[in-house]
Amino acid sequence: MNNIKLLICILGILLAIILPACIASRELVLVVLFDLSGSTINDREYYYNDFKEKILLQKIDTDDTVIIAIGIITDNSMKEHPIANETLIGMESPFARRGKVEKILNKVKGHLLNNEAIQSQLTDILGAMYVTPNDVFNAYKDDNNKKVLVVFSDMIHEYNDCNFKKESLTSNRIEEIISNKRNNGGLPSLDKVKVYVAGATGQPNIKNFWDKYFKSCGAVLEYYGRTLIKFKE
């Protein structure tokens, strides 16, 4: 009888430990894109600091599981591979999480701030959307996962398919660009993804484009501004 009581007591303790972890097992899938075009060279330190202070360091002292992928926007976005991939595992020690965070920060800093950092002449933002975000979010389709995309960019797409600096983004032109992407299989699947944009210009026609673009991809444009004032994911 005493053995049975002891076994029940042990099971109760195990359940008390395991159940909360299971309930809180929802993962955050976080994709971050950095614009490495020449027009962003003066903003990259702001990009880095916002990413470091307002996003990444906030994830060290939590028990959340966070899957992180870092991509870049260049004049050859469709052929760019992620510059960093890490998973902060729930319940692992802050020491282990901090080591992974430092690894990510070193990779990002190297691409954004060193003297040989990329300065692309063109900016293929639409192509970048179809690479890292599309691939990562498709790999983690589970509805229980929270999916977030953060884009550090002025959001001025300048590429062969269209150039926001040279053309008028009327409602008809916006619909035409999005339709062309959809018809050619170039529209990413961003279903239920929350999107945050930092570094954006204040031009309303460009914001209007991205509003409609992300909606067409199934995403929600949660924040769009010059700096990352709001991020609570």
For position 26, what pLDDT does the model report? 61
For position 102, what pLDDT does the model report? 95
The low-confidence residues of the chain, meaning pLDDT below 50, are 2-25
For position 7, what pLDDT does the model report? 38
Kindly state the tokens that stand for 78.
Answer: 């469709």
The position carrying tokens 């060279």 is 41
For position 110, what pLDDT does the model report? 93
For position 60, what pLDDT does the model report? 84
Report the half-sphere exposure of 107 (CA within 13 A, side-chain side): 20
Q: Which residues of 199-228 are buried (b: 16+ CB within 10 A; e: fewer)?
A: bbeeeeebbebbebbbebbebebbbbeeeb
Kindly state the tokens that stand for 2.
Answer: 């005493």
Quick: pLDDT tens for 25-55.
468 999 999 999 988 999 999 999 999 999 9
| Spatial distance between the Cα atoms of 24 and 33, rounded to a whole number of angstroms | 27
For position 115, what pLDDT does the model report? 67
Residues 6+ apart with CB under 8 A from 31: 68, 69, 70, 71, 132, 133, 136, 137, 148, 149, 150
For position 21, what pLDDT does the model report? 43
Kindly state the tokens that stand for 1.
Answer: 């009888």
Domains of the chain: 25-225 (3.40.50.410)
